[in-house]
Structure 1
Amino acid sequence: MRIGLSTYAFFWRGSDRVEDPMSLEAMLEETAALGGDVFQICDYPAIENFDDARLTQLRTQAERLGVRLELGTRGVAPDHLDRYLELAERLDVSLLRSMLYRDADRPSTEAAIRRLASILPRLRRQHVTLALETYEQVSVEDLMTVVDSLDDPHIGVCLDPANCVAALALPEAVIAHTADRVVNLHVKDFHFTRAPGWVGFQLIGCPLGEGQLPFDAMLERVDPVSRGISLVIEHWLPWQTDAATTCRLESEWTRHNLHFLRSHTA
């Protein structure tokens, strides 16, 4: 089991909303400084344009720091996954997270199965596991139909129960349905509460242990420690009053969540 950070833990600090956005290399350095074992470069399309020199430098930096790299993208088009498998090979990545949909490309369950079957031989050759994430745009039932139909250890589930709340799927049900196929965990806590003024609801993040994520039940059911599954911290932190406040809170959440994970998995 590895504990670490996603680029989503640096969502605001790496964005153009701040005066001096963090680079990918700086995020990796901070992950190591905080004792993280893994850094997932997730939904970070700029990496597709990194030249060979920068990719080599990033891999060397991760090796020097003792941090394992993972990659994340969206979609299951074979040519797109081929591109990310090229990046995975250059970065010595063995875990690639994706989603069934990417922008307007929304394959049917049957089409997704065909696409993924065509990429399976390369996943096997490279010893890469593809983790398909749970999220509100695809029902858990459809996602599991894809994964179960392929029935291969190189294709599993990236479990993030928080994402499915927007589709009115209870986190406990999502965990129960996917647990046996989970190969990667995105860990973020959340509040689903009435919006101010009692008009509608809001689904936003909070520090681990303070919200509605059934964390202990998830850990018990998935058993990431004995199964060697990485736990990757993300945040749903709303923008605060200004950049300085937002970045400070993002950093505080990261430290809190790392401490929380270590204390609950020791």
Structure 2
Amino acid sequence: MQLGISTYTYGWAIGDPGKHRPPEPMDELALLCRAEQLGVSLVQFGDNWPLDELSVERLIAFARQARLRNIQLEVGAKGLTDEHIELYIQLSTYLQSRLLRFVIDKATYRPSVDQVVDILKNAVPTLEKVGVTLGIENHDRLLAQEFAHIMERVGSANVGICLDSVNSMGAGEGLADVVKTLAPYTVNLHLKDFGIKRLPHLMGFQIDGRIAGQGMLNIPWLVEQVEPYNRCQTAILEQWVVPESTVADTIAKEAAWAEASLKYLKESTLFCL
């Protein structure tokens, strides 16, 4: 299983134009450089960095730099529609991405399970033709059983689950049950360590991020659960970094977390680089 980083490793440094934006956001070439510095050769672009918004010239330069640096790319998007899948399959082909990671929902767009199944079935012939695997990420609107139901109804080796280690908690589901249900379909892992602590007033809990290996996520166990199915080829470090009082301090903290997390993950010998 190949280890990599993503745009969600550096969510604060990259920013979100609709919510927050650092004064000098990390660009796509800086992310490639960061991968080199950390000693990994895989970079996944999530829905916080829509590659279809890059100019043609910028996209060409980006693809060239990735090839020169021998960095494998994985493409991601959100908003599962026939048109959006078609566009991102084209981008995946151009960028030589074997995995296309998709979040189903976007803003007010929330298709039903039946609609999702139909859209994925429509995409299967093209996915099979170009050799791209589409991974649906488990977000917090649908339950794990619903994601599994979608996979069974689509029934293609080119469609699977991008298994995030925390997202399904938003649907009220525990990690053990989610992994048991979705491991057979998992084609990509999001390694996002987390902690859960009781709030000071004792009326509830808070879930937030941790450095990999320092939280509640048992990463060796997680890898052990998905490996027997021989479908998951890549594992990506994602981070929920608790912000500091300033943007600069938050970005510095995020970079330090990434370095410490990659050190742990590389020393674990669970992954290849």
Q: TM-score, normalised by structure 2?
A: 0.92
Whether 1:47 aligns to 2:51 is yes
Are the aligned partners of 2:185 and 2:231 in contact in 1 as well (CA < 8 Å)? no
> For residues 225-257 of structure 1, what are the alpha-carbon distances to aligned partners after superposition, in whole Å with 9 as ceiling and x for unaligned?
965611111111122111222112101111111
Choose which of 232, 255, 259 in structure 2 pairs with 1:255.
259
Runs of 4+ in 1 over 3 A off after TM superposition: 224-228
CA distance in structure 1 between the aligned counterparts of 2:100 and 2:73, rounded to whole angstroms: 10
User: Which segments of 5 or more consecutive residues in structure 2 lack a partner in the other structure?
Assistant: none
CA distance in structure 1 between the aligned counterparts of 2:259 and 2:86, rounded to whole angstroms: 35
CA distance in structure 1 between the aligned counterparts of 2:232 and 2:266, rounded to whole angstroms: 15
| Residue in 2 that maps onto 1:21 | 25
Alignment of 1:29-40 (within 5 A): 29-40=33-44
CA distance in structure 1 between the aligned counterparts of 2:228 and 2:260, rounded to whole angstroms: 20
- 1:45 Cα deviation (Å)? 4.6
- 1:38 Cα deviation (Å)? 0.7
Choose which of 73, 89, 96 in structure 2 pairs with 1:69.
73
Choose which of 249, 254, 263 in structure 2 pairs with 1:245.
249
Q: Which amino acid aligns with 2:218?
A: P
Q: Which amino acid aligns with 2:255?
A: S
Q: Which amino acid aligns with 2:176?
A: E
Choose which of 94, 106, 112 in structure 2 pairs with 1:102.
106
Q: Which amino acid aligns with 1:105?
A: Y
| Residue in 1 that maps onto 2:182 | 178
Flag the 1:63–1:36 CA change in 2: closer, same or farther, 3 A: same
Flag the 1:49–1:17 CA change in 2: closer, same or farther, 3 A: closer
Say how many residue pairs are matched.
266
Q: Which amino acid aligns with 2:241?
A: L
User: Which segments of 5 or more consecutive residues in structure 1 lack a partner in the other structure?
Assistant: none
CA distance in structure 2 between the aligned counterparts of 1:223 and 1:241, rounded to whole angstroms: 40
Structure with the largest fraction of helix: 1
- 1:9 Cα deviation (Å)? 1.0
Moved more, 13-22 or 58-67: 13-22
- 1:75 Cα deviation (Å)? 2.5
Whether 1:145 aligns to 2:149 is yes
SS at match of 1:8: coil
SS at match of 1:131: strand
% of aligned pairs identical? Answer: 29
SS at match of 1:104: coil
| Residue in 2 that maps onto 1:80 | 84
CA distance in structure 1 between the aligned counterparts of 2:68 and 2:187, rounded to whole angstroms: 26
CA distance in structure 1 between the aligned counterparts of 2:228 and 2:57, rounded to whole angstroms: 35
Q: Which amino acid aligns with 1:18?
A: P
SS at match of 1:174: helix
CA distance in structure 1 between the aligned counterparts of 2:232 and 2:149, rounded to whole angstroms: 24
Choose which of 234, 244, 263 in structure 2 pairs with 1:230.
234
| Residue in 1 that maps onto 2:199 | 195
